[in-house]
Structure 1
Amino acid sequence: MSNLSRLLKESWTLVEEQQDKVAGYFYARMFLDNPQLRDLFPVQMDVQRSRLLGAIVTAVQTSGDPDRFADYLQALGRDHRKFHVEAQHYDIVGNALIEALRTFAGDEWSYEYEQAWRDGYAAIAHKMIEGADADNANPPYWHAEVLHHERRSRDIAVITCRPMQPLEFRAGQYVSVETRYQPRLWRAYSMANAPRKDGSIDFHVRALGAGWVSSALVRRVRPGDMIRLGAPMGSMTLDRRSTRDIVCVAGGTGLAPIKALIEEMTRANRTRWVHVFFGARDRDDLYDLDCLNRLAARYPWLSVVAATSEDPESPGEHGNISEIVGSYGPWQEHDFFVSGSAAMVRATLRTLAEMQVPAMRIKYDTFGDS
């Protein structure tokens, strides 16, 4: 571990148990000194309060390995153009962050700690500004018209929209989405298809209990409505140089990027077997299983295993999908794609580690509004 990384992690322990207070002070300081910045944030700040601070802290703490995260940080900078973030705003945010940390760390805060945070924050800000500047040819966000809205279960909808301007992305990536019902509140959703000639994009959305955006997308948005999309992000994409067979593990609406990857494979694959494990609580949540089965019937290289964890009467496997994939195999020579809730992804990664699947062959995303 570098000295910078050690100082960052060590100093964070001084305030870690007071994260909510640190976040509150951080925003208060920022808005008090620069009231105009309040307009960049959503009216509902409950989720945003911890989300932004957590993202900054995580990014700064990984700044000891800037090359590894350069692509991600540059993509993040491009994405933040949708908030109308300008270069000078980074200094304001950084100063508010340092003051919040200093205030709650108390007497144990040192010059070395402060300099480490300044250096770490400066490194990520530089990469983000670099990414934003390189994206000036694109709009800060895309307006998109909702073409179709289909409820697939009690709380899941499949939405098809078309951006008004060309939006280039790769299968497996995601964008942030905003609706008119919750202005300035954005949530990330994977595209559920590979790029199409007509430019249309599918999203699979589950309405969560406290999900302001997800509930609006499932229950309020209708064909003809306009939504806004941020810049594409994510590296859960196919390595076209690999000849290894593929295993995809999807939980719930985490199926979206997996389906996009399958669609890309239908256009070019000739040699790689693709095994899809699709898990949900009950048969109602296996909302796209019929489509997966039709694809498997059409393409001999594709196989599908469905599992439910809370529906013993449902056909197929029973149990958590992370356990089901572990009962098959061996998988040491395969490429893996994992997408679903944070808990599902963690459980699957543990299973794959126990099966000695090399970490470098696993790509994953976690999705949801929390």
Structure 2
Amino acid sequence: MAFNVTLRQSGRQFQVEQDEPVLSAALRQGIGLPYGCKNGACGSCKGTVVSGEIEQRAHSSSALSNDEKTRGMALLCCATACSDLEVDIREVAGVGDVQIKKLPCRVNAIERKADDVIVVKLQLPANERLQYLAGQYLEFILKDGKRRSYSMANAPHSEGPIELHIRHMPGGAFTDHVFNTMKERDILRFEAPLGTFFLREDSAKPIVLLASGTGFAPLKAIVEHAVFKNLERPMTLYWGARRKKDLYLLELAEQWAREIPNFKFVPVLSEPDASDAWTGRVGFVHRAVIEDLPDLSAYQVYACGAPVMVESALRDFTQHHGLPEDEFYADSFTSEADLANAV
């Protein structure tokens, strides 16, 4: 049995099969809805069910609260239809124009940039080229069928290997492999491009780029793309980490600040050590944005990194500092642990 889903804002319709997630059905039919993790952990695919009945499957309580459920909200990546539906959610233009592929790749280079960060470069087959939007991610398809997501850190126009920034998650089967046993020339398989986190080029608003840890990776792609396209919008990158060594490409960001017109870089450490001899900003990275820009009503924000940072930024920027909610774009780096409190 199939049900009809109507998108309230555009009136577009698509069909969802019984037991099929609403998001999966939309993407399968070329309809761009916002999403990130696809497993109920990040909250990017949140929408309001205006009419009809759904079954909301297991998800992180931080991605969808009980209060939001009572107001008719749902996570479409893990919601199935029990009737025809009308859903209020913003659509994402452009995503459906890029073909999603499953491809093999060869590990071209493994470069350790910090104690717990490795830059991996992937070579595609000679006859393949991956089209994607700056900020999107790929999913490795592991031998057991599980998947692991990583943002592409180089801009789409760049020729050569795809660049990923991988942080070691102690006890994580895949990152243990990357850090301990993976070798150059190893063969991997992935699906890409995925996600709706990418630079919106149809706006002239100044941009705030907000990263924690390896959330720098997709923002690097966005900066490189903006430079390639000669976009003149002011950009300010706030990059937060615990220690100076965790700003694993600090020199690159400082180089951008010197060379790119209208570009500023603000590094922020939450727990600097005496050995860091740090004279820069200290505290939570999203608070540094608020200190500098108490009125965000005229800005676009692109936030990427730890879920707690993304959630705090969304709440504080939109509720207290004037940022329109539809100008906040985020990629929350969820992990298996973020689903440990699934409800």
User: Which bracket does the TM-score occupy, shorter chain normalised?
Assistant: 0.5 to 0.7
1:168 aligns with 2:137: no
Q: What per-residue deviation string (whole Å, max 9, x for no partner) do you get for residues 207-255 of structure 1?
A: 1123222222233222211111112111111221111110000000011
Instruction: Name 1:323's counterpart in structure 2.
Output: 287
- 2:137 counterpart letter in structure 1: Y
Secondary structure at 2:209 match in 1? strand
The 1:279–1:138 alpha-carbon spacing in structure 2 relative to 1, beyond 3 Å, is closer
| SS, match of residue 255 in structure 1 | helix
Structure 2 distance, partners of 1:161, 1:235, is 22
* Range 307-316 or range 243-252, more displaced: 307-316
Deviation at 1:199, TM superposition (A): 4.3
Larger Rg: 1
Residue 294 of structure 1 corresponds to 255
Identity percentage over the alignment? 26
Of 322, 329, 335, 1:356 maps to 322
Name the structure where helix makes up a greater proportion of residues: 1
Structure-2 residue corresponding to 1:309: 270
2:34–2:196 CA contact under 8 A, matched in 1: no
Q: CA deviation at 1:75?
A: 10
CA contact 2:36–2:331 (8 Å) conserved in 1: no
Runs (4 or more) in structure 1 with deviation over 4 Å come to 56-60, 73-77, 120-123
| Cα displacement (A) at 1:310 | 1.3
Question: Cα gap change, 1:74/1:275 in structure 2, threshold over 3 Å: closer, same or farther?
Answer: closer
- Decide whether the 8 Å contact of 2:208 with 2:300 is kept in 1: yes
Distance 2:317 2:191 in 1: 32
1:369 to partner: Cα distance: 2.7
Match of 2:301 among 311, 333, 336: 336
Aligned to 1:222: 183
Gapped regions of structure 2 (runs ≥ 5)? 6-17, 39-56, 58-78, 86-95, 337-343
TM-superposed CA distance for 1:306, in Å, is: 0.5
Query: Does the C-alpha gap of structure 1 residues 356 and 312 become closer, same or farther in structure 2, counting only changes over 3 Å?
Result: farther
Secondary structure (helix, strand or coil) at the match of 1:230 reads strand
Q: How far apart are 1:121 and its partner, in Å? A: 8.5
Computed over aligned residues only, the root mean square deviation of the Cα atoms, in angstroms, reads 3.6
CA distance in 2, matches of 1:58, 1:342: 26
Return the alpha-carbon distance in structure 1 between the equivalents of residues 172 and 108 of structure 2: 23
What are the within-5 Å matches in structure 2 for residues 1-370 of structure 1?
A: 59=21, 70-72=31-33, 119-120=81-82, 139=101, 141-164=102-125, 165-178=128-141, 183-313=144-274, 314=276, 315=278, 316-329=280-293, 330-353=295-318, 354-370=320-336
- Structure 2: how far apart are the matches of 1:118 and 1:193? 35
Relative to structure 1, the CA distance from residue 326 to residue 225 in structure 2 (aligned partners, 3 Å threshold; closer, same or farther) is same
Report the counterpart of residue 45 of structure 2 in structure 1. none
Preserved contact between residue 168 and residue 179 of structure 2 (Cα < 8 Å): yes
| Cα pair distance change 1:308/1:120, threshold 3 Å | farther
Secondary structure of the residue that 2:216 maps to in structure 1?
helix
The one-character-per-residue Cα deviations of 1:50-86 (angstroms, maximum 9, x if unpaired) are xxxxxx99955x89x99xx942489999xxxxxxxxx
Q: 2:134 corresponds to which letter in structure 1?
A: A
Aligned length: 264
Q: Secondary structure at the match of 1:243?
A: coil
2:46 alignment partner in structure 1: none
The TM-score with structure 1 as length reference comes to 0.63
The SS at the match of 1:287 is: coil
Which of the two has greater strand per residue? 2
Question: Counterpart of 1:327 in 2: which secondary structure?
Answer: helix
Taking a change above 3 Å as real, the CA distance of residues 75 and 359 of structure 1, as seen in their structure-2 partners, is closer
Pick which of 217-226 and 228-237 moved more. Answer: 217-226
Larger RCO (CA within 8 A; separation ≥ 6) = 2
Structure 1, residues 3-28: CA drift from partner, whole Å, max 9, x if none? Answer: x99xxxxxxxxxxxxxxxxxxxxxxx
